[in-house]
Each structure stands twice: as C-alpha cells, then as structure tokens.
Amino acid sequence: MAYDMTVYNVNDQQIFVREEGEGSRRGVALLTHGWSSSWFAMSPLMTMLRKRYRALAVDLPGYGQSPPAPHTVSIVWYADLLADLLRSTTDKPAVLIGHSMGGMISLTLALRHPELVERVVLLSPTITGRLSLYINLFVSPITFTERLPIIGRIVGLLEPYFLGVTDRLMRPAAFSERGGMTTTDYERIRADVRNPAQGKVRAQCFTAMREGDLRGQLGQMKAPGLVIWGMEDNTVPLRDASILADEWPEADLRILPRVSHWPQFEARDLTLRYITAFLSTPLKLLTVDWDE
C-alpha cells in the first residue's frame, strides 16, 4: 500500500514524513522509528494521535524514502536535525514518541533541546546502545559486513535465497511468540529490514547507538516521560529499563507481559491505552512533586 508523504528540507537534508492531523489544539507529535525500520513502525499510533496533534512520523535519513546523509550519521546528528524540523513546523513544545533507536534519539533531543519538548513517550528504547546477546551473535556480524559496499551488495544479492533462514533467526529477537503481531504488519516490518538501500546506514547506526550511550545523563531530563517495554524483549534487554528506572525515577515505566520489542504492534490496545492516558493528563499533574 502506498502512502502520501510530505517532504521537508532541513539543513539541506530531505526528510520524508507521514503527516496526519491538523494539530490545531495541541501542536506537534514527532514520531521516530528505530534501527533498520521506517515511519511504518509508528503507524499503529497515528489514528489516535491525529485526533489531537499534528502527527509527524519521519523516515530518518537513510531509511524508508529519505535519502541518506552525505556523512556518517550519529545519534546527536539525528537529534539535532529533528530539533530543527520541529523549529520549522511548530512554535509549541512537542510530544516526542520514539521506538528503539528512535527512543535514544528522542531522549537525546530532549536533553539537548529541552525547550522544544513537552513530554516524551518511549517504546522499548535503547539507553546504553548495548543490544542483546542474540542480536550481537546473529545480527552484528552481517551488519558490519555491510559497511563495505562490495560485501553489502553481495549480501543483498544472496539475501533472497536465505529469507526463510534469516526470518527464523530474527523473529525470536524482535517478536514474542504470544504477542498480537499480525502477518500483514510482520511482512511490512520485515520488508523494511530487508531494504538493501539501508545497508550502509544500518552499519553506521549500529556504531552510533553504542557511541550514544545515555547512562549518567537521564537524571537531567526535564520533560515527563512514559516508557513502555516488553517483558520478553530480546533486542534491547531489560537491563536498560533498570538503568532508566534508577536514573529517571519520575518516568512512568510500564513492563508488558507477552510482548517483545514491538509493543505498538504486539499489544496495540494496551499500548494505546497507556499513551492516551499519559497524553490526556495535564502537564501540571505530570510534573508535580508529591513528596512536598
């Protein structure tokens, strides 16, 4: 299915955005996908968000339809680029919603540009950039070969012959056996992962996440946050949730059973319920200090 996309030019970088809603009441909600993905990773949230926000689900440069950056990317560069996108689209503090690597980008944006952020929603966010043992065993070797253009092309040519094998290897890393992921959504998500044009940026981002380690910084967060994590996440391990809970205890942390790395697909209704409640709570109630 083809979707209409809006193209923004920010600092000479094209960003393709799936845009829905007028946002006349509450301003902008900026949705940022994760590693080896596209705006579609955030699609389950769009119907709810467009009723009250101007919802902007981006294809990060190098992913989806957005052309790659002319340089090696970093988490800070993505965060600053999206900050400038916000400055060009709204004069109000925005809601940031990030999944996986997009959660790390959203947190980095909120830390570097707090004046642009009203509140933050994170779905299985990367905090340390250290992914699970499963990912490191089965994914990182392929990812690092994609740094070399000729090897990346060879991997791309051979991949159609090994799709069944790679799907069997990757599914346990991303999805719970008991989750509610539909076949249609699964195939679309896997199509993003298989996109051969993303090989170089995937390799760059694997390193960028490790270099974007947020440990020791979360205590500086000023915006209130909701964090939703799958109890069976085998991509970003729950030890990252413990770090977040220690350093940012004010954040509302929800751990969902029977869910792996994609709560917005695997437990859509419950995830939407938590997000709706968080976004509907007046900001003054989210920031009050109940111990005073």
The per-residue pLDDT for 164 is 46
Number of domains in the chain: 1
Query: Is 292 part of any domain?
Result: no
Give the contacts of 204 (CB within 8 A, at least 6 positions apart): 62, 72, 73, 147
Specify the CATH number for the domain of residue 219: 3.40.50.1820
Across 93-112, b (16+ Cβ under 10 Å) vs e yields bbbbbbbbbbbbbbbbbbbe
Residue 163's domain spans which residues?
Answer: 6-286
Query: Is 1 part of any domain?
Result: no
The per-residue pLDDT for 153 is 52
Given the DSSP bridges, would you call strands 54-59 and 13-20 parallel, antiparallel or unpaired? antiparallel
The per-residue pLDDT for 166 is 45
- Residue (of 201, 106, 103) closest to 152 by Cα position: 201
The per-residue pLDDT for 172 is 46
The per-residue pLDDT for 3 is 83
Q: With beta carbons less than 8 A apart as the criterion, state whether 99 and 124 touch.
A: yes
The per-residue pLDDT for 163 is 41
The per-residue pLDDT for 203 is 84
Which residues of the chain fall short of a pLDDT of 50? 150-152, 154-155, 158-169, 172-173, 176
Query: Is 27 part of any domain?
Result: yes
The per-residue pLDDT for 196 is 73
Which 3 state secondary structure label does DSSP give 74? coil
Query: Is 215 part of any domain?
Result: yes
Tokens 């994914």 correspond to what residue?
139
Query: Is 204 part of any domain?
Result: yes
Tokens 């809970």 correspond to what residue?
245
